[in-house]
Amino acid sequence: MSETLTTTAETEHQGKSEPGHSRRMVLNMGPQHPSTHGVLRVVIELEGETVLKATPDIGFLHTGIEKQCEALNWQQVITLTDRVDYLANLSNNLVYSLAVEKLLELEIPAKAQWMRVMLTELTRINSHLVWLGTHALDIGAMTVFFLCFREREDILRLFEMFSGQRLMTSYIRVGGLALEPPRGWEKRVKTFIDTLPSRIDEYESLLNTNPIWLKRTKGVGRLPVEEMLEVGMTGPCIRAAGIPMDARKMMPYSSYEKFDFIVPTSTDNDVFARYAVRVAEMRESTKIVKQALAGMPEGPVQAAAPKVVLPDREKMKTQMESLIYHFKIVTEGISVPAGEVFQVVESPRGELGYYVVSDGTSKPLRVHMRTPSFGNLQALPNLIEDRMIADSIAIMGSLDFVLGDCDR
């Protein structure tokens, strides 16, 4: 967060206010502007309607999550990972759990892995729905917002059914899942996922032939691919530039290699291409969820690791050994062997990597979150400088950043 942003306009402007002289204007956008999707402040220097310089100012939502991780037990950190990216909480649960499981060298049962895939794909659909609704709203298409939030509500009800929470689910835990999935979940997920493709058709029918939408998005927000990689962009933005960079394919985790899906790409590299890629991703996620439903393995949802996973309540009350394990885990926490891992998953926004360091105790030595929003937002000046200010709204929307994810 920087309060002393100096602009060239302030220094050049002094004594040069005679009429006809080119005058620059400094516009402070945010931190409460609705189209900045959270608390992002961008100081924009304008000449007429052209953006000369853009300086993003972040940190308004910095809550010290990485610091708090060092003060909590290994399992307690799960609840903080929810709060990093509040639109992709299950992806964050998953990447942290995978990292700790890698340090513990824990084998996760097939059913838990498939449930994780299914839930993170639902998260992806959820996140893309929120993105599509708000992005279309920024550009002026209001109906899409209501339609997207209708489907999002269905997904949140599913999450509530699984975990008891709509947003901060904490459902994926170290060693498997928090709970057995509830009775009747297959039917509810199936009903939702069967109707989704027709709903996506509905959004596309509203946007793909809409002349205003096309004019606002086609050919807007281009950047050379090398520069995009150079400034740290990942996720749908980089795939819309033609690079099939997706952790689900490149380094599969949680048995993604057993699922049949493609990574949608485009070579247009504009705002419309990013929209098209995300819509195609929603359809691919639908396919993955359907496959997960059809081939869901039988068995436990938690690993057979009594020193890591809390015992069953019934066993805890009837068996001495289970009671001891329960007591040890709750009072001391689990201990994780010393080491360090960098685990990457594909979050809806891009490369989500957790760098977890253990010194062998019951608390992490360091949890660093490489979040996609931070990397994507860094490219904002490259994307909007020397372009029209109205386009900057469309470009910002197309990056799909979440400020909680960025500031942590």
Partner 1 sequence: MLPENLKDNPVAASLEQADPGMLAGGNTDHNELTLEVVPEKILDVLRALKGQKFERLSTVTAVDRYPMEPRFEVVYQVQSVSRNLYVRLKCRIGGEKPEIDSATAVYASANWYERETWDLFGVVFKNHPNLTRIMMPDHWEGHPLRRDYPVHGHKYSYQNE
Sequence-distant (≥ 6) Cβ neighbours of residue 162 within 8 angstroms: 119, 169, 171, 179, 181, 182, 185
Structure tokens at 27: 């516009």
Query: 301 near 180, Cβ under 8 Å?
Result: yes
- Distance, CA of 271 to CA of 388 (rounded, Å): 14
Alpha helices in 180-246 (DSSP H): 185-207, 211-217, 225-230, 236-239
Shortest spacing between CB 69 and partner 1, in angstroms: 10
Rounded-to-integer distance, Cα 86 and Cα 169, Å: 10
When the beta carbons of 130 and 380 are compared against partner 1, the nearer one is 380
CB of 88 to partner 1, least distance (A): 18
User: 159-187: buried (b, 16+ CB within 10 Å) or exposed (e) per residue?
Assistant: bebbbeeeebbbbbbbbbbbeebeeebee
Q: Which is nearer to partner 1, 13 or 102 (CB)?
A: 102
Q: How far is the CB of 352 from partner 1 (least distance, A)?
A: 11
Of the pair 56, 176, the CB lying nearest partner 1 is at 56
Are 145 and 153 spatial neighbours (Cβ–Cβ below 8 Å)?
A: no
CB of 353 to partner 1, least distance (A): 6
Q: Which CB atom, from 214 or from 250, has the smaller least distance to partner 1? A: 250
CB of 234 to partner 1, least distance (A): 8
Q: Name the minimum Å distance from CB 58 to partner 1.
A: 6
Place of tokens 């310089």: 53
Can you give the binding site for partner 1, defined by CB under 8 A?
1-4, 58-59, 62, 64, 66-68, 70-71, 102-103, 226-227, 229-232, 243, 245, 250-251, 339-342, 344, 351, 353, 355, 357, 365-366, 368, 370, 374-375, 378, 407-408
The span from the CA of 84 to the CA of 67, in Å, is 13
- The amino acid at 320: M
Is the Cβ of residue 139 or residue 241 nearer to partner 1 in the bound state?
Answer: 241
143 sits in which H/E element? helix 143-163
Could you give the strand order of the β-sheet that contains 366-370, starting from the edge strand earlier in sequence? Answer: 339-347, 350-358, 366-370
Give the chain's end-to-end CA distance (angstroms, integer). 13
Smallest distance from partner 1 to CB 8, Å: 14
Residue 117 beta carbon to partner 1: minimum distance, rounded to whole angstroms? 21
Instruction: Give the nearer residue to partner 1 in terms of CB position, either 147 or 367.
Output: 367
Residue 236 vs 353, nearer CB to partner 1: 353
Q: Which is nearer to partner 1, 86 or 355 (CB)?
A: 355
Helices (H), 312-385: 313-318, 320-331, 372-378, 380-384
C-beta closer to partner 1: residue 133 or 375 = 375
Query: Which residues does 21 contact at the CB level (< 8 Å), separation at least 6?
Result: none
